Structure 1
Amino acid sequence: MPNRLASATSPYLLQHAENPVDWVEWSDAAFEEAAARGVPVLVSVGYAACHWCHVMAHESFEDAATAAFLNEHFVCVKVDREERPDVDAVYMAATQAMTGSGGWPMTVFTTPTGEPFFCGTYFPPRPVQGMPSFTEVLASVAAAWTTRRDEVEASAGIIAEALAERPAAGEQAGFDVVDRALAGVATTFDAARGGFGGAPKFPPSMVLEWLLRHHARTGDARALAMAEATLDAMARGGMYDQLAGGFARYSVDAAWVVPHFEKMLYDNALLLRVYVHAWRATGSPLAHRVATETARWLLDELRTAEGGFASSLDADSEGREGAFYSWSPAQLRDVLGDDDGTWAAGVLGVSDEGTFEHGTSVLQRRADPTDTERLDDVRERLHAARERRPRPARDDKVVSGWNGLAVAALAEAGALLDRPDLVDAASAAARFVLETHARRAPDGSTRLVRASRGGVAGSAPGVLEDYAHVADGMLTLSAITGDPAWFDAAEDLLETALVHFAAADGGLRDTADDETDAVVGRIRTLQDPADGPTPSGQSAAAGVLLTYAALTGSLRHREAAERALRGPLEIATRFPRAAGAALAVVEALLDGPREVAVVGTDDPARQALHAAALRSTAPGLVVAAGPPGADAPPLLRDRPLVSGIASAYVCRGFVCALPTTSADELARQLGR
């Protein structure tokens, strides 16, 4: 019998709509039901591309006996962590505190008021390596609730109080934190294989952006060397799809050989932008190729019919992880013939022993062969053959913040790689988000929902990262297209962030003051300063607030940016890899920012100046282009043309240089 998930918008929840478990969506009503029945709540958190979420679902949630026990003893709530990051953050903090680690699937048992009292992740159907089975866990939790409820509720209350307590923000770390953080991150750099730390290795997107900015500001060769080595290793390894472009979620080993195969929108948007910036800084052909291919992959694989971008591709197909992406030597020969198949096996790292499972290998590109035309031909033929395989499922949920990341990345890639089609795709996605995800609240503020599916907005409210990333995408489009409508949209979103996400310490919360549901609001005031797979909401907000302040001269927004950096910078010296986004913003602050106003009609003279400005590697670069006028962003106002010719004005640290009509002179003023 179908459960109560049939009307959900989340593909992850819909994957469980036919489970015999009587799942309900996260809501206050679910906890009210638990209170009325006098039973605890099982909160099961995962996401559509999560391999072990699928495994646990098949082993336990599709099992009739397990489902019957769950339905009798619990109210079962299924949560998509991508749709409700606020819920995920609350219970992840509890899981990490109780177990010392965390991950997905996340399995949390709470009281009817939402306080967690037992947490874990994946539980097998039978005891394995000292891990209890899921049925044993369920029986123990149900027995404890029945026989020792007062004790359970008391311990849950203590846990909830601990989660609600956040250490008071200390004094803002000085901006000299950058040098100490660089020394710290250098100690974890893997000089032999690129990246930081050991296995598993995740793409350190925010740290790489920071290192590129630091090199641009200071000329520090060590920062550039760490960034280049890591970008090169990731691009040549198995985490990068050597046939179609795009990156998998992470590498299970330290040498970037075998990935965890799910592909996420946020990873690829962040990495696209970093590779574009690396190419701009170094002229690397590899960075150019990876940026071009990753942009194409985003458009080919994740763009939805409505113009937005879907969340992810699954790791599994044909019931196996990586089946779509892995190859055996025999399969190469079947597609390419003996000569090309044997040659391709050597070039792409496919061996008889295999680097993955069942004698298959993940394609790599450790070195570039002299015969690049042959390699291109081989890649094309293998890609065509792979397209005939059963494809991984796609989570077509459109998340506001992740689309903001994609908008910014595609717009910049389009401008720098001379690909207007990418700018068009970014504009279409931005329009979709504004038309479908944004609404006008009764108080006049612009509000975002977290996600939509099939063009229908969901009910989960947007969080701080959504407002920050969407606003950043809008300001990036404004800088590249010159259309002031994007600037106006960003302005509205940032006003909502400043008014409704303000924290008691002067910084910003992750959730709005009037859109957090009762359970989340009661347990914890969210203000997580650390980067995860995406930049922390506070760091992302700091970056876009600083950009807006440079465009407008608004001291209010600049001060808000600096306050938002307090939390992230407090952890930067101890855990710099968790504060890369904040450190990148600090580089922009230390650089000026550098404000470039390019004024004039859209003619070749203005286009040349505009292109020169966008090619600058200055970490604090902020660009506005267009005719001066009352409707233009303030940076463009009161900027006359010089002798009737398109002109560029460069200001830095509240001091402006003389205007120029020469693209070469503009490049010189910007430090190139």
Structure 2
Amino acid sequence: MNRLASATSPYLLQHADNPVEWWQWGADALAEAKRRDVPILLSIGYAACHWCHVMAHESFEDAETAAVMNEHFVNIKVDREERPDIDAVYMAATQAMTGQGGWPMTCFLTPDGEPFYCGTYFPTPSFRRLLDAVAEGWQSQRKDLVEQASRVVSTIAGGAGPLQESVVDEATLAGAAEILQRDADPVNGGFGGAPKFPPSMVLEFLLRHHERTGSEDALALADRTAEAMARGGLYDQLGGGFARYSVDAEWIVPHFEKMLYDNALLLRFYAHLWRRTGSTTAWRVANGTAEFLAAELRTPEGGFASSLDADTEGVEGLTYVWTPEQLREVLGDDSAAELFGVTPEGTFEEGASTLRLFGELPETTRVKLLEARAKRPQPGRDDKVIASWNGLAITALAEAGVALDRPQWIQRAVDAAELLLRVHVIDGRLRRSSRDGAVGASAGVLEDYACVADGFLALHQATAEPRWLTEATRLLDLALTHFASPDAPGAYFDTADDAETLVQRPADPTDNASPAGASALAGALLTASALAGHASVAKYREAAEQALRRAGALAGRVPRFAGHWLSVAEALQAGPVQVAVVGSNEELLRAAARGVHGGGIVLAGAPDAPGVPLLADRPLVEGSAAAYVCRGYVCDRPVTTAEALAAQL
């Protein structure tokens, strides 16, 4: 019996018709393995994953392979996006065993859930041999396999303790910026070779470092990388939005899946870059990415879907690539081939090319090509709503909406926040995911609480509505209560103290494609300390500073994996900057929105507005609207003109 038909995950539903007798993760599945006295075959992936589709087609849809799986194993399928805790535990095991990890992830476990053999993608012949070998080994060498599993659990537990405390000061931040300069690709921007991922949080740190210190090197690296990504194939020149990564070092050919978290983080960075430099590229990309979120990922309930698939009808990139002939057919001439770098040889497969930008793109050309592309088959969409990723999108849309004066973006952020409150909050606690307005069973993890709280704080600033501050601080208080390590102040687990017990309680402090739960929490706590009023300032600020000290060594030694930590540290060094605009003056508000530093706070409203502590005790100045600028606990004199405010900032 395949038990995936009732799943809320589109990834699991993709496997609901497999001849494999899949189970969803849970106590029943583990109990079944104990009852049958067989090992567990755990397969972890996600809906937009190309090689997950390949392995499914080759092995899980094959009746003979499925028969072997069903006879010898209890087979469990997990969506890593719904259950990041399970993914983290078994990814650590996979990396410990093989030195690398990825998806699809394939792990063999004892009935107690302890892993004794792990890998990633297996082509059908080797997968069949592996199934036979593991089944035989379970019968003839079970003691060895169980001992191996115990050693693996001990190994990953030994590497999971909290980091030692280490100060994050001016020298740490300057040293991190120097390491990033040394590690950067001087030609193409970004870091490392192929594959190359968009370093959104590192770019945000570099921008903040420039704003606070005046470092032109930091700004140059951020701007060079932003320009290269925006003009390469990584960015969708027609429809907006970024693919997950580039398979080459020059940003030419992407892996075509588009993830919500990438686009939220990059929207925020490009909006901040435009705010600081006035870059026309940053303006174009911020607008294009925000509209991509609305056009392609927004759900009928007002939230944002998780991703678009890498494949279209089983072919990667089918929707997006072009030949010179196809461009000519739409536009009537060869004008676009040189503009987009489309050649007869092609940059992708079978003579087709991704679209890069080697000039200015006429809007009429973009619209014609986009309309033609819309008639092609389109990639599938994973339409489940992930709480933390929607939190990132809410923050990005709210901040970008204020910076670029796009009230419709702020409204979309409000709609997504309303969905989270309406659907994801159950008995006061946060659930991880929903689909079609129905909440899933998975409990929220630390990143969910932190990113959603941060999004609500951004909305409080953008709208001056008290309820967003109230809901944000409620989530932060829950996070401090349920996720903090009882033995190491400032350290946090990724799962709550009352969550399901796994073979290890995950606690990963590194920033990867999205912020670590702990770094996202530190950022939200710091923002809350400036917004929540005098009674909570000390609690939230101290908690943020404690968390940051736990990441000091990480930030100083491997800054590429601590981008969000470093961004939080920069905001802390800057104060953070707070701008309260009281009274009605659009020029003052615009100057605040354009001039504030990354990580800074801007909030406008009536003096002493109820439930808005940042506006308390800040009156009009001689009957005129005024702006109050503070850094930490030190404030400048209020000003009444946009010019004076810009000078202060």
- Is the 1:624–1:633 contact (alpha carbons within 8 Å) kept by the matching residues of 2? no
- 1:268-667 matches, cutoff 5 A: 268-337=263-332, 339=333, 342-365=334-357, 367-369=358-360, 375-440=362-427, 446-503=428-485, 504-518=487-501, 520=502, 523-551=503-531, 552-553=533-534, 554-600=537-583, 603=584, 605=585, 607-629=586-608, 631-667=610-646
**Greater mean alpha carbon deviation, residues 158-167 or residues 480-489:** 158-167
Distance 1:347 1:579 in 2: 37
How far apart are 1:617 and its partner, in Å? 3.8
The more displaced of 27-36 and 93-102 is 27-36
Alpha-carbon distance between aligned partners in 2 of 1:9 and 1:510, rounded to the nearest angstrom: 26
Aligned Cα RMSD in Å? 1.4
CA contact (8 A) 2:4 2:12 kept: yes
SS of residue matched to 2:595: coil
Q: Aligned letter for 1:345?
A: A
Return the offset for 1:250.
0.4
**Of 120, 123, 142, the match for 2:135:** 142
Q: Distance in 2 between matches of 1:61 and 1:394?
A: 21
Relative to 1, partners in 2 of residues 1:89 and 1:218: Cα closer, same or farther, differing over 3 Å? same
**For 2:242 and 2:280, how far apart are their aligned partners in 1?**
18
Partner of 1:443: none
What is the CA-CA distance between 1:168 and the residue it aligns to? 4.8
SS of the residue corresponding to residue 565 of structure 1 reads: helix
Structure 2: distance between partners of 1:390 and 1:462: 35
Quote how far apart the aligned CAs of 1:575 are: 1.3
Kindly state the Cα deviation for residue 225 of structure 1 after the two structures are TM-superposed.
0.5
Conservation of the 8 A alpha-carbon contact between 1:317 and 1:392: yes
How far apart are residue 508 of structure 1 and its match? 4.2
The question of 1:154 aligning with 2:147 is answered yes
Letter matched to residue 28 of structure 2: A
Q: Indicate yes or no: 2:239 matched with 1:244.
A: yes
Distance of 1:188 and 1:633 partners within structure 2: 43
Q: Which amino acid aligns with 1:316?
A: D
1:221 to 208, 216, 219: 216
Equivalent residues of 2:465, 2:612 under 8 A apart: no
Distance 2:492 2:136 in 1: 38
- Does 2:152 match 1:173? no
For 1:5-16, what aligned pairs fall within 5 Å after superposition? 5-16=4-15
**Contact 2:482/2:498 (8 A) holds in 1:** no
Runs of 5+ unmatched residues, structure 2: none
The offset of 1:493, in angstroms, is: 0.7
Shift of residue 657, structure 1, vs aligned partner:
1.6
Q: C-alpha distance in 2, partners of 1:362/1:169?
A: 43
Counterpart residue identity of residue 300, structure 2: A
Paired residue secondary structure (2:282): helix
Letter in 2 for 1:160: V
Q: Which runs of 5+ in 1 are unaligned?
A: 127-132, 441-445
Q: What CA distance in whole angstroms lies between the structure 2 residues aligned with 1:34 and 1:493?
A: 37
SS at match of 1:641: coil
1:337-391 CA-partner distances (Å, limit 9, x unpaired):
2x2xx221111111111100111110111x215xx5xx33222211111100011
What amino acid sits opposite 1:325 in the alignment?
A: Y
* Runs of 4+ residues deviating >4 angstroms: none
Q: Which amino acid aligns with 2:422?
A: E
Greater alpha carbon shift after TM alignment, 653-662 vs 265-274: 653-662
Give 2:185's aligned residue. Answer: 190
Matched, 1:206 2:235: no
In the alignment, the residues of structure 2 paired with residue 419 and residue 596 of structure 1 have an alpha-carbon distance, to the nearest angstrom, of 20
Q: What are the superposed Cα offsets for residues 112-137 of structure 1, whole Å, 9 maximum, x if unpaired?
A: 111111000000013xxxxxx10111
Partner residue of 1:254 out of 222, 239, 249? 249
1:241–1:349 distance in 2 versus 1, CA, 3 Å: same
The question of whether the paired residues in 2 share the 8 Å contact of 1:44 and 1:106 is answered with yes
Classify the secondary structure of the residue corresponding to 1:17. Answer: coil
* Identity within the alignment, %: 57
Structure 1 residue 41 displacement after superposition? 0.6
1:450-507: CA deviation from partner (whole Å, max 9, x where unpaired) = 0000000001011111111111111111111111111111111111111111113112
Work out the CA distance in 2 between the residues paired with 1:622 and 1:84: 33
- The code of the aligned residue for 1:147 comes to S
Which amino acid in 1 is paired with 2:154?
A: E
Query: What number of residue pairs does the alignment pair up?
Result: 643
Change (3 A) 1:99 1:567: farther
Look up the equivalent residue of 2:430 and give its one-letter code: L
Matched residues in 1 for 2:353 and 2:263: separation? 23
How far residue 630 of structure 1 moved from its aligned partner, in angstroms, is 6.9
- C-alpha distance in 2, partners of 1:619/1:347? 34
Give 1:78's aligned residue. 77
Kept after mapping to 1: 8 A contact 2:445/2:496: no
Residue 516 of structure 1, CA deviation:
2.1
Correspondence for 1:129: none
Secondary structure in 1 aligned to 2:85? helix
- Over 3 Å counting, the alpha-carbon distance change for 1:581 and 1:151 in structure 2 is same
SS at 1:108 equivalent:
strand
TM-score, L = length of structure 1: 0.94
Task: Work out whether residues 111 and 117 of structure 1, in 8 Å CA contact, stay in contact via their aligned partners in 2.
Answer: yes
Deviates more, 1:253-262 or 1:375-384: 375-384
Give the Cα separation in 1 of the matches to 2:495 and 2:335: 57
**Relative to structure 2, which stretch is displaced further, 528-537 or 47-56?**
528-537
